[in-house]
Structure 1
């Protein structure tokens, strides 16, 4: 991918996602290729994170964070494509094999690594494997099916 990932600021990332302000959870991208994206975030530590409920950030909010990594992957691929087409809007429609090792993300010190790997993309459906890690510890993992809207 020819995109300079080190120049992709948090604001530029949010501009690529259908999220705004504090809802945008991805802060940096370290790897992005045709099949995979690796991102980092410390948004889980923000007291004003809008995904918090009752002053806690459940590990299940990690599914939204992973979904944003998937959306960012598809947006970056669209930006790099020869046709320069607009990224497609998507919605997670199915989760499989989701497992977690913690109950909360807000108590995890330091940055999280978010990996999303495209297992298949055909027509209006993409399937991604995802994982949220802190250092070598897997906090949340699973697979997600994403329904993609028709391109206009």
Structure 2
């Protein structure tokens, strides 16, 4: 659908994450099935996921989940609607190739691919890279919470 960069200002209202917990910076491109986002928040000392001054690689799963949320919001908006809020219900086949990411000097790329989707649940594959080197990958499942 779009290969034009979309800034956080344009999509941030589509997800429930606010302030520093909104970890992604830009959407580089997206289609009906995929999303590519970019982030520098892993280097921010105020990143709310840091502990003991470090951001552990396990937290890259949250970057993947946020890319899923943004993708769902963009799809719903393109269809003239609003995405239902969702709950992350499982992570599978997670592979972490590094221990931490706060020491990575540049932007990280966050990719998501919708594997299955329906009225009440979605499954995505995600991967996070730095300069085309894999940092983390896995699959995530989300179940929708009805809009009230």
TM-score normalised by the shorter chain: which range applies? over 0.9
- 1:96-115 equivalence runs, <5 A: 96-115=92-111
Question: Structure 1: which 5+ residue stretches go unaligned?
Answer: none
Residues 118 and 4 of structure 1, relative CA distance in 2, 3 Å threshold = closer
- 1:137-152 equivalence runs, <5 A: 137-152=133-148
Paired residue secondary structure (1:63): helix
Paired residue secondary structure (2:57): coil
TM-score normalised to structure 2 length: 0.94
Q: Is the 8 A contact 1:130 1:141 kept in 2?
A: yes
Aligned mates of 1:4, 1:151 — CA distance in 2 = 30
Q: Is the 8 A contact 2:11 2:74 kept in 1?
A: no
State the aligned residue count: 148
Question: Structure 2: which 5+ residue stretches go unaligned?
Answer: none
Partner of 1:23: 21
Paired residue secondary structure (2:17): coil
Aligned mates of 2:128, 2:14 — CA distance in 1 = 21
In the TM superposition, structure 1's runs of 4+ consecutive aligned residues that sit over 3 Å from their partners are none
Paired residue secondary structure (2:115): strand
Aligned mates of 2:95, 2:29 — CA distance in 1 = 24
Give 1:13 shift. 2.8
Q: Is the 8 A contact 1:14 1:21 kept in 2?
A: no
Does structure 1 residue 78 correspond to structure 2 residue 76? yes
Partner of 1:69: 67
Q: Please report the RMSD computed on the Cα atoms of aligned residues, expressed in angstroms.
A: 1.4
Paired residue secondary structure (2:63): helix
- 1:50-61 equivalence runs, <5 A: 50-61=48-59
Aligned mates of 1:146, 1:32 — CA distance in 2 = 19
